[in-house]
Amino acid sequence: MAHNRQITSKLGLDAENQIREICKALPEVVEQVDGFGHTSFRVKDKPFVMMGENEGVVSISIKTLPTTQEFLLQQPGYYKTPYIGQHGWTSFQAKQDLNWEEIRGYIFEGYLRAAPKSLAKLVSNAEC
């Protein structure tokens, strides 16, 4: 993500609220805004979702499995997150017609990648 500012657009704030609702259901998630204005959702200080806005364009980055990243990169609108894409981070722009059920799955996957095994196990067991 480039040096983005904090999210201020209605589209960005709506997306941030959707992501916040998804993340609130996961154990020990903390929301944090960094010095660049990026909003991140973290578990045990490890980010798994990051958002930022630059000139009205809102980007969302999620920590995905390499296979998920490979799949998403073949879809229109998805790209490797600058600087951290080699670690599985995949980005896309917020827009009106996002499939939030699909994004919920990617956020859940990101959480499982970032969370300690004890928390990941709790969440995995709850989903079964």
For each of the domains in the chain, give its residue range(s) and CATH number, in order of start: 10-123 (3.90.1150.30)
3-state secondary structure of 71: helix
pLDDT of residue 127: 58
Task: Express each pLDDT in 79-108 by its tens digit.
Answer: 999 999 999 999 999 998 999 999 999 999
Please state which of the ranges 27-31, 60-64, 119-123 shows the lowest mean pLDDT.
119-123
- What average pLDDT does this structure show over 29-52? 95
pTM of structure: 0.91
Q: Return d(Cα 55, Cα 73) in angstroms, integer.
A: 24
